[in-house]
Chain A
Amino acid sequence: AQSVTQLGSHVSVSEGALVLLRCNYSSSVPPYLFWYVQYPNQGLQLLLKYTSAATLVKGINGFEAEFKKSETSFHLTKPSAHMSDAAEYFCAVSEQKGNTPLVFGKGTRLSVIA
C-alpha cells in the first residue's frame, strides 16, 4: 500500500522568500513521486516527477524537489516565491510501472504575501 503525508495544509510566505512544501511518502515498492499544482477552478498540472533517475528533479516555474530515500521525503522548493505561485500543491506517489494510479496527499495551500 502507498500513502502520502503533506505537512501543513496551509503555508504562507512573503514574495521573494523561499518556498518549502513538505511531502513524506510510504510505499512497499520503489515509488515514482510527483508534485502537481492546482490553480482555482482548474485541473491539476504536473510540476515535476521523480522516476528513479536523478534524485534532484527540476520542474516548471522554477520549482525543484529532492528524493531522499532514507527520509522517505520528496519536499518541493523554490528559491523565490512569486505572487503567481499562490495555489494548491499536491504530492502523489505511484508504483514504478507504466501509468498506475496516483495516490495523493491532502494538499498544501500556498499563499504569497506582497
Chain B
Amino acid sequence: DARVTQTPRHKVTEMGQEVTMRCQPILGHNTVFWYRQTMMQGLELLAYFRNRAPLDDSGMPKDRFSAEMPDATLATLKIQPSEPRDSAVYFCASGGTGSRGNTIYFGEGSWLTVV
C-alpha cells in the first residue's frame, strides 16, 4: 500500500537547535507539499514542489526555514534555529498524475516540540 513516509514522527528539541524533517513521497508522484498544523492557525501551506522545483514557499518564514528536494524520493524541511513558536505538526503530502490526478495524500506527520 503506497504511502507518504515522514521521519521523525516525534521530536523534542531545545530552542536554538537545528531540526530536519524528512519525507518520502509516494513513488511516481511529482508534486510534494509541506503543511504545518497548529491549534491557532489550522493547516497552513509552507511550500510545495513540482518535479523537484520549488513553486511556492511564500508560507515559510525565510529567515529560519528551508525546504529542498535533493532527489525525487526525498523532501526535507529544515528549521535553524528552532524557536518555541515552531512547535506544531508538520505534514508532508504528495500528488501524482493520471487517473487519480489531483488527489493529495498525506503522511502521518512530524510532531515537533521546541522547549
Q: Does A49 have its Cβ within 8 Å of any Cβ on chain B?
A: yes
Contact of B102 among A90, A94, A103 (CB under 8 A): A94
**Once the chains bind, are B97 and A43 in contact (CB under 8 Å)?**
no
Q: Which of B22-65 contact A (CB under 8 A)?
A: 30-31, 33, 42-43, 45, 48, 50, 56
Residue B104, interface by CB 8 Å: yes
- Size category of the B interface is 20 to 34
Chain B residue, CB-CB nearest to A97: B102
Contact A43 B108 (CB under 8 A): yes
Query: Are the CB atoms of A101 and B56 closer together than 8 Å?
Result: yes
Q: List residues of B whose CB falls within 8 A of some A CB.
A: 4, 30-31, 33, 42-43, 45, 48, 50, 56, 91, 93, 95-97, 101-109, 111
Interface residues of B: mostly helix, strand, loop or mixed? strand
Answer yes or no: A28 CB below 8 A from chain B CBs.
Answer: no
A84 at the B interface (CB under 8 A): no
CA distance A43 to B91 in the complex (A): 7
Residue of B nearest to A103 (CB): B45
Contact with B along A18-41 (1 / 0, CB 8 A): 000000000000001000100001
Chain A interface residue count, CB cutoff 8 Å, equals 23
Q: Is residue A56 within 8 Å, beta carbon to beta carbon, of the partner chain? A: no
Subset of 13 A-B contacts with CB under 8 Å = A41-B111, A43-B109, A44-B106, A45-B106, A46-B103, A90-B43, A98-B31, A99-B50, A101-B56, A102-B45, A103-B45, A104-B43, A107-B42
Query: Is A51 close to B, CB under 8 A?
Result: yes
Are B107 and A99 interface neighbours, CB within 8 A? no
